[in-house]
Amino acid sequence: MVGAGVVGAACAYYAARSGLVVAVVDSGPVAGGTTGAGEGNLLVSDKVPGPELDLALLSAALWRELAQVLPHAIEFEQKGGLVVAASPESLATLTATASGQLAAGVRATSVAADELGSLEPHLAPGLAGGFLYPQDAQVQPALAAAHLVRAARDAGASLHPGQAVTAVLTGPTGAVRGVRTGAGDLLAPVVVNATGVRGGELAALAGVELPVLPRRGFVLVTEPLPRLIRHKVYAAEYVADVSSASAALQTSPVVEGTQAGPVLIGASRERVGFDRTLSVPVVSRLATAAAALFPVLADARVLRTYHGFRPYLPDHLPAIGPDRRVPGLFHACGHEGAGIGLAPATAVLVTAAIRGEEPALDPEPFRPDRFDAASRTGHGS
């Protein structure tokens, strides 16, 4: 298992518990990649009907199970999401989205304009209405990944931190034999690429292409405040931002309070490579949008901001499952802004594929080699 982010951690957990012998190797520590910069929203509300929503629904159920077995320290909380619309037009779009989601198995209830205040007393006045999504939940991503790895180790997995994979070893037939790290070779008939935003680089080590790109996101964290915000609250425009293919900046944020007191505001989305400098325009627009939703936040002080790089694939779907080009190579990466939410379902699919078992849902849309020119023509899309 290459990568000890939340996806690699979940894969290690389900694979080890299924009886496979697992070694987790990471160039850094556990949760040192994008997982450490993620916010931990486990959302079904922001996904339109389709393969990603199916994966999210499966994951939501798995996270509820995991919350029963992993320590409370992972901070699982099913607080629910509240999506609000500012205008009648955007409410109409939101209503249409919600009815599609309902048909796909999502739970959602319509909230009239005059009921918003009882759910969120500090919301800006004058909103047109919204929808409440009780399945939306939350974990602390780094702790979730760390406790998944720990539980995987309890089930027999080994952890090899601080060891970068520099080569994928293959045998005479072209099948995977293991990986080379700074500390030596790790031999295994199966290698899982859970390297997140580095997924394309690891694929290249195995001689195949996987077009994972970084999509930067900033998050703002305020000073500790009394409990002002009860749900995950965001504007209906967020759904459009999430699924946008544009490289340009999108900044409609999810706003939520935390148990420790700070309010989290995030995150922006833009494709600017691995640029690590602070972008004032980006954080400024997040702040503007947050204050538009909750005017009470205007006086709050922002203590810090941080950023991370989402592993982005051009069609916004992760790469999950065997790579038909290299026998023994499996992928579990490219989850963009939903990798924390989608980690358990991804892990269940990968484990089933390795074991040759029936998958929990149709894995075809997540086929890792779907971006190949040849494979694309084959499917005529």
Partner 1 sequence: MPASSAEQPAARPERTELAVVGAGPAGLAAAVTAADGGLDVVLLDAADAPGGQYYRAPAPGLGATRPEALHHGWAEFAALVARLGRHRTAGRIRHLTGHHVWAVERSGADWTLHAVTGPDGRDGATTLDARRLLIATGSVERQLPFPGWTLPGVVGAAGAQAMLKSGLVLPGRRIVVAGSGPLLQAVAVSLARAGARVPALVEASGYGAYGRAPLVLAGNPGRLAEGARHGAALARHRIRPLTHRAVTAVHGTDRVEGVTVSRLDREWRPLPGTGRRIDCDVLAVGHGLVPQLDLAVGIGCATRCGADGSAALELDDGLRTTVPGVWAAGETGGIGGVRLALTEGELAARSVIADARGGPGTARAAALCRSRRRMRAFAELMGAVHRPGPGWTDWTAADTEVCRCEEVTTGAIRTAVAELGAGDSRTVKLLTRAGMGWCQGRTCGFAVRELAGCAADAGAPDRRPLACPVPLSVLARADRPEDA
Count of residues that bind partner 1 according to CB under 8 A: 45
Distance from the first to the final alpha carbon of the chain: 32
Cα–Cα distance between 217 and 260 in angstroms, integer? 22
- Residue linked to tokens 């004058």: 126
Q: Please pick, from the candidates 227, 304, 324, 355, the single residue that binds partner 1 as defined by CB under 8 A.
A: 304
Residue whose CB is less far from ligand FAD, 198 or 370: 198
Q: What six digits make up the tokens of 121?
A: 């007393």
Cβ atoms of 45 and 87 within 8 Å: the answer is no
27 interface partner picked from ligand FAD, partner 1, none, CB below 5 to 8 A per type: ligand FAD
Q: Is residue 256 helix, strand or coil?
A: strand
Q: DSSP assignment, residue 332?
A: E
Does the protein bind partner 1 through residue 28 (CB under 8 A)?
yes
15 interface partner picked from ligand FAD, partner 1, none, CB below 5 to 8 A per type: none
Q: 314: which residues sit within 8 A by CB, 6+ positions away? A: 211, 213, 245, 371
Sole window of 52-60, 141-149, 235-243, 343-351 interacting with partner 1 (rule: CB under 8 A)? 141-149
State the nearest-atom distance from the C-beta of 141 to partner 1, in Å: 8
Does the protein bind partner 1 through residue 158 (CB under 8 A)?
no
151 interface partner picked from partner 1, ligand FAD, none, CB below 5 to 8 A per type: none
Question: Looking only at residues 191 through 250 of this chain, which bind partner 1 when binding is defined by CB under 8 A?
Answer: 220, 222-223
Residue whose CB is less far from partner 1, 35 or 97: 35
Binding site for ligand FAD (CB under 6 A): 2-8, 25-28, 32-35, 37-41, 164-165, 194-198, 202, 217, 219, 266-267, 308-311, 333, 335-341
Q: Please pick, from the candidates 150, 230, 271, 325, the single residue that binds partner 1 as defined by CB under 8 A.
A: 150
Does the protein bind partner 1 through residue 144 (CB under 8 A)?
no
Q: 16: which residues sit within 8 A by CB, 6+ positions away? A: 22, 152, 153, 155, 156, 157
DSSP collapsed to 3 states, 150-192: HHHHHCCCEEECCCCEEEEEECCCCCEEEEEECCEEEECCCEE
Q: Is residue 137 helix, strand or coil?
A: strand
State the nearest-atom distance from the C-beta of 54 to ligand FAD, in Å: 16
State the nearest-atom distance from the C-beta of 222 to partner 1, in Å: 7
Q: What are phi and psi of 22, to 5 degrees?
A: -120, 135
The site for partner 1 (CB under 8 A) is made up of: 4, 28-32, 36, 142-143, 146-147, 149-150, 159, 161-162, 220, 222-223, 260, 276-281, 283-288, 290-291, 297-307
